[in-house]
C-alpha cells in the first residue's frame, strides 16, 4: 500500500445528530457556567465561539491543491448549538446564573442577556464527600446518606428525570467538579464485579466522581473527565464502558500552562535543543485554586502535570539532551487573582557546544475562558463517537487533556500537534476520507 493514499472507509456511515443533546456536568462552577453562558451567548449571536475547534475549525481533505477545507461541523454530523440542553449536579444549590456571578469569570453585562436561561439551569443534589474534596466549606446541596450504590441509583433517577423533562434524544457528561484527592488504583477498582460489590459495601476507596461515572455509563451516557482525579481510568470503568458500548475520555482539561508546555516542548525537541530545567509556577484565586490549596487535591494535579515533559522529550532516547531535567510545578492560591491565572515558566535550555540559554513565559490567562470551549468540543465529539459506534477509551481526543487516557501500558501522546493530526485523521477515517500523512512527494511527481 502506498503511503500517500491511505484511503480508509469507515465501516458504517455515522448517523445524523437529530433531536436534542443533553449535556450533563457534574460540577457547576466556573468552567461549567462559563461553558453554558458561552453557548447561550453564541446561540443568540452575542459572541463567537472562539477557541472551539468544532465551531471555528476547518479540516483539509485530499491534496493541498484540491482546495477542500470544509468546516469541521459541516464535515462530521455534530449536534448544533441550538440543540443543546444543559443540566448538572453541584454541592451548592446556586443556579447557573448565581454560580457564574460568584465565579466572576464573565462580566455582569455579558450574563444579563442570557440571565433567564442561566437561572433555569438548577443543579441536582450532589454525591459529595469532604473526605475527597477538603477546601469547600459551606456545602449545602448533597444527597441523603446511603451506600455508594444508593447514590448511584439516585443519580440514575436524576438522569432519567432530566431526559424526560427536557425531552433529549441523547446525553453526554463532562466532569467539571472539583479535583478530588489523589489516590492510586486499589483492588476495588480492578474489575467490574469487585467494583459493584464495593458500591454496595461502601468501600472507602470509591470516590464520588467514580459513583457518577458508574451511574452515567450504566445509563449509556458517554463520560469525559475534565479533572485530574482517578475516575474512568480504572479497569472497572473501562470494562463497563465496553460492556455498555459507551465512549469514555480523560483526563484534566489541557489549558493554561500545560497547553503552553505541549506547544513549546515539541518544538525544542524537534530541533534537538537540550533542556536541563523547567520551573513552572502559577498563581490563581478562584475556587479551583482554593481546592488545590489542599495538598491531597494538588497531588492529583501535580501528577497530571508532571508526566507531560517526560513523554514529549523521551529522555531514555535522548539522555544527553533531557536525561537530567529538573521539572518543578507549583500552584499557589492567591485570592486577588480570581480566575485570571498567571503562569510563569522558566526554561533552562542549551544548544551547540552546550551553550546555555533561557526562555521565560509569562502567560496571563483566564482559566475558564480556555476550558469552556474544551467542554463544548468534548460534548459534541463524545456524542459523535457514540453515534459512530465507538466505545471505551477515545484516545483521539487526547488533544483536550493534560493526562490523556490510553490503554494500559500504552504511552500517551502529549505533543499538541501530533494530537491535532490524530484528531483530524480520526474524523477523516470516520467519514471514509483519505488519511493525510504529509508525505508531500505527490506534488513533485511527473503527471
Ligand atoms: N479552568 C481550567 O482551566 C481547568 C483546567 C483543567 C482542569 N480543570 C478542572 O475542572 C474542574 C472545574 O474547575 P472550576 O474552575 O470550574 O472549579 P470550581 O471550583 O469553580 O467548580 C467546581 C464545582 O464542582 C462542585 N463539586 C465539587 N464536588 C462535587 C461533587 N462531588 N458533585 C457535584 N459537584 C461537585 C463544587 O461545588 C464547584 O461548584 C476542576 O477539577 C479543575 O481542576 C479546570
Residue 114 in contact with ligand 1 by CB distance below 6 A? no
- 165-205 pLDDT, tens digit per residue, is 999 999 999 999 999 999 899 999 999 999 999 999 999 99
Query: What Rg value do the Cα atoms of the chain yield, rounded?
Result: 22
Q: Which three cell numbers, joined as nine digits, stand for 426?
A: 480520526
**What is the average per-residue pLDDT within 261-274?**
96
pLDDT band for 11, please (50, 70, 90 cuts).
low
Q: Would you say residue 9 has pLDDT above 60?
A: no
CA of 29 to the centre of ligand 1 (A): 6
Other Cβ atoms less than 10 A from the Cβ of 131: the count is: 12
* 3-class DSSP assignment, residue 116: helix
User: Using CA positions, which residue lies closest to atom 32 of ligand 1?
Assistant: 126
The burial of 181, by beta-carbon neighbours within 10 Å (0-12 exposed, 13-18 middle, 19 or more buried), is given as: buried
CA of 227 to the centre of ligand 1 (A): 7
Q: Would you say residue 156 has pLDDT above 70?
A: yes
User: What confidence score (pLDDT) does residue 371 get?
Assistant: 97
Ligand 1 atom with least separation from CA of 256: 3
Residue 277: in which H helix or E strand, if any?
Answer: strand 274-284
User: What confidence score (pLDDT) does residue 8 get?
Assistant: 52
Residue 331 in contact with ligand 1 by CB distance below 6 A? no
* Inter-residue contact 304 to 228 (CB < 8 Å): yes
Residue 252 in contact with ligand 1 by CB distance below 6 A? yes
- 44-75 pLDDT, tens digit per residue, is 999 999 999 999 999 999 999 999 999 999 99
Residue 256 in contact with ligand 1 by CB distance below 6 A? yes
Query: For a pLDDT cut of 70, what percent of the chain falls above it?
Result: 97
Task: Please name every residue paired with 277 in a beta bridge, in sequence order, or none if there are none.
Answer: 326, 348
**Entry pTM:** 0.94
pLDDT band for 10, please (50, 70, 90 cuts).
low
**What is the average per-residue pLDDT within 249-267?**
94
Q: Would you say residue 140 has pLDDT above 60?
A: yes
What span, in angstroms and rounded, lies between the C-alpha atoms of 363 and 343? 5
CA of 304 to the centre of ligand 1 (A): 15
* Inter-residue contact 372 to 339 (CB < 8 Å): no
Residue 282: in which H helix or E strand, if any?
Answer: strand 274-284
Give CA separation, 342 vs 182, 208, 280, 406, in Å. 24, 30, 11, 30
Q: How many residues in total does the chain contain?
A: 447
pLDDT band for 398, please (50, 70, 90 cuts).
very high
What span, in angstroms and rounded, lies between the C-alpha atoms of 145 and 151? 8
Give CA separation, 172 vs 166, 252, 311, 396, in Å. 14, 17, 30, 17
Residue 298 in contact with ligand 1 by CB distance below 6 A? no
Residue 287 in contact with ligand 1 by CB distance below 6 A? yes
**What is the average per-residue pLDDT within 281-289?**
84
What span, in angstroms and rounded, lies between the C-alpha atoms of 91 and 82? 28
User: Using CA positions, which residue lies closest to atom 44 of ligand 1?
Assistant: 253
What span, in angstroms and rounded, lies between the C-alpha atoms of 380 and 77? 9
Q: Would you say residue 281 has pLDDT above 50?
A: yes
What is the 3-state secondary structure of 302-351? HHHHHHHHHHHHCCCCCHHHHCCCEEEEEEEECHHHCCEEEEEEEEEEEC
**What is the average per-residue pLDDT within 144-168?**
97
CA of 137 to the centre of ligand 1 (A): 14
Residue 370 in contact with ligand 1 by CB distance below 6 A? yes
Q: Which three cell numbers, joined as nine digits, stand for 322?
A: 533531557
- 86-138 pLDDT, tens digit per residue, is 999 999 999 999 999 999 999 998 899 999 999 999 999 999 999 999 888 88
Other Cβ atoms less than 10 A from the Cβ of 48: the count is: 12
User: What confidence score (pLDDT) does residue 1 get?
Assistant: 34
Q: Would you say residue 2 has pLDDT above 50?
A: no
User: What confidence score (pLDDT) does residue 368 get?
Assistant: 94
Residue 367 in contact with ligand 1 by CB distance below 6 A? yes
256-366 under CATH 3.90.550.10, yes or no: no
Q: Which three cell numbers, joined as nine digits, stand for 383?
A: 456524542
CA of 323 to the centre of ligand 1 (A): 35
* 336: CB partners within 8 A, 6+ apart: 285
**What is the average per-residue pLDDT within 436-447?**
85
The answer to whether domain 6-253+369-435 and domain 256-366 are alike in fold is no
Q: Where are the domains of the chain?
A: 6-253+369-435, 256-366
What span, in angstroms and rounded, lies between the C-alpha atoms of 85 and 199? 30
Alpha helices by DSSP H, listed for 44-147, are 53-56, 72-75, 96-103, 108-112, 115-119
* Inter-residue contact 367 to 341 (CB < 8 Å): yes
Ligand 1 atom with least separation from CA of 139: 37
Q: Which three cell numbers, joined as nine digits, stand for 181?
A: 484527592
Tell the residue number behind the cell numbers 513523554, with chain if given: 311
User: What confidence score (pLDDT) does residue 3 get?
Assistant: 37
Higher model confidence: residue 210 or residue 306?
A: 210
Q: Average pLDDT over the chain, rounded to whole? A: 93
Ligand 1 atom with least separation from CA of 291: 19
pLDDT band for 440, please (50, 70, 90 cuts).
confident
Residue 174 in contact with ligand 1 by CB distance below 6 A? no
CA of 443 to the centre of ligand 1 (A): 49
Residue 285 in contact with ligand 1 by CB distance below 6 A? no
The CATH architecture annotation of domain 6-253+369-435 reads 3-Layer(aba) Sandwich (3.40)
The burial of 389, by beta-carbon neighbours within 10 Å (0-12 exposed, 13-18 middle, 19 or more buried), is given as: middle
- 37-49 pLDDT, tens digit per residue, is 999 999 999 999 9
Picking from 2-11, 90-99, 103-112, 339-348, which range would have the lowest pLDDT averaged per residue? 2-11
* Inter-residue contact 163 to 220 (CB < 8 Å): no
Residue 177 in contact with ligand 1 by CB distance below 6 A? yes
Residue 128 in contact with ligand 1 by CB distance below 6 A? yes
User: What confidence score (pLDDT) does residue 134 get?
Assistant: 87
Residue 35 in contact with ligand 1 by CB distance below 6 A? no
* Inter-residue contact 36 to 86 (CB < 8 Å): yes
Q: Using the 8-state DSSP alphabet, how is residue 231 labeled?
A: S
CA of 165 to the centre of ligand 1 (A): 26
* Residue of 25, 26, 27, 88 to mutate, ligand 1, most atoms within 8 A of C-beta: 27
Residue 258 in contact with ligand 1 by CB distance below 6 A? no
Amino acid at each position: 500500500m502506498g503511503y500517500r493514499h491511505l484511503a480508509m472507509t469507515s465501516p458504517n456511515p455515522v448517523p445524523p445528530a437529530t433531536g436534542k443533546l443533553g449535556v450533563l456536568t457534574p460540577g457547576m462552577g466556573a468552567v461549567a457556567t462559563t461553558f453554558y453562558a458561552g453557548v447561550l451567548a453564541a446561540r443568540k449571536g452575542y459572541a463567537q465561539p472562539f477557541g472551539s475547534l468544532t465551531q471555528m475549525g476547518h479540516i483539509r481533505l485530499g491534496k493541498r491543491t484540491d482546495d477542500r477545507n470544509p468546516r469541521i461541523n459541516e464535515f462530521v454530523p455534530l449536534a448544533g448549538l441550538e440543540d443543546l440542553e444543559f443540566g448538572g449536579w453541584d454541592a451548592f444549590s446556586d443556579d447557573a446564573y448565581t454560580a457564574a456571578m460568584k465565579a466572576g469569570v464573565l462580566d455582569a453585562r455579558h450574563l444579563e442577556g442570557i440571565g433567564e436561561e442561566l437561572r433555569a439551569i438548577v443543579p441536582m443534589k450532589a454525591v459529595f464527600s469532604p473526605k475527597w474534596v477538603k477546601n469547600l466549606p459551606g456545602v449545602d446541596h448533597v444527597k441523603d446518606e446511603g451506600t455508594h450504590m444508593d447514590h448511584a441509583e439516585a443519580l440514575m433517577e436524576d438522569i432519567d428525570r432530566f431526559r424526560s423533562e427536557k425531552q433529549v434524544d441523547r446525553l453526554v457528561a463532562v466532569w467539571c467538579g472539583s479535583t478530588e484527592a489523589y489516590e492510586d488504583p486499589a483492588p476495588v477498582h480492578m474489575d467490574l464485579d469487585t467494583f459493584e460489590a464495593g458500591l454496595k459495601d461502601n468501600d472507602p476507596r470509591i470516590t464520588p466522581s467514580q459513583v457518577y461515572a458508574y451511574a452515567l455509563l450504566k445509563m449509556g451516557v458517554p463520560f469525559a473527565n475534565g479533572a485530574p482525579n482517578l475516575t474512568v481510568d480504572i479497569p472497572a470503568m473501562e470494562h463497563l464502558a465496553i460492556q455498555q458500548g459507551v465512549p469514555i475520555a480523560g483526563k484534566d482539561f489541557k489549558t493554561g500552562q500545560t497547553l503552553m508546555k505541549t506547544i513549546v516542548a515539541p518544538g525544542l525537541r524537534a530541533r534537538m535543543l537540550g533542556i536541563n530545567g523547567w520551573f513552572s509556577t502559577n498563581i490563581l484565586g478562584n475556587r479551583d485554586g482554593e481546592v488545590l490549596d489542599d495538598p491531597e487535591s494538588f497531588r492529583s494535579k501535580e501528577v497530571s502535570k508532571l508526566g507531560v515533559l517526560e513523554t514529549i522529550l523521551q529522555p531514555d532516547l535522548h539522555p544527553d539532551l533531557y536525561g537530567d531535567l529538573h521539572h518543578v510545578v507549583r500552584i499557589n492560591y492567591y485570592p486577588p487573582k480570581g480566575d485570571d491565572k498567571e503562569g510563569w515558566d522558566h526554561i533552562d535550555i542549551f544548544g551547540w557546544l552546550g551553550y546555555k540559554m533561557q526562555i521565560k513565559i509569562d502567560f496571563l490567562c483566564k482559566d475558564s475562558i480556555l476550558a469552556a470551549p474544551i467542554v463544548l468540543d468534548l460534548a459534541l465529539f463524545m456524542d459523535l463517537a457514540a453515534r459512530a459506534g465507538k466505545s471505551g477509551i477515545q484516545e483521539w481526543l487526547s488533544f483536550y487533556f493534560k493526562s490523556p487516557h490510553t490503554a494500559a501500558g500504552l504511552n500517551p501522546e502529549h505533543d499538541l500537534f501530533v494530537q491535532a493530526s490524530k484528531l483530524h485523521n480520526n474524523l477523516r477515517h470516520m467519514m471514509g476520507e483519505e488519511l493525510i500523512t504529509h508525505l508531500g512527494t505527490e506534488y513533485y511527481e511527473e503527471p
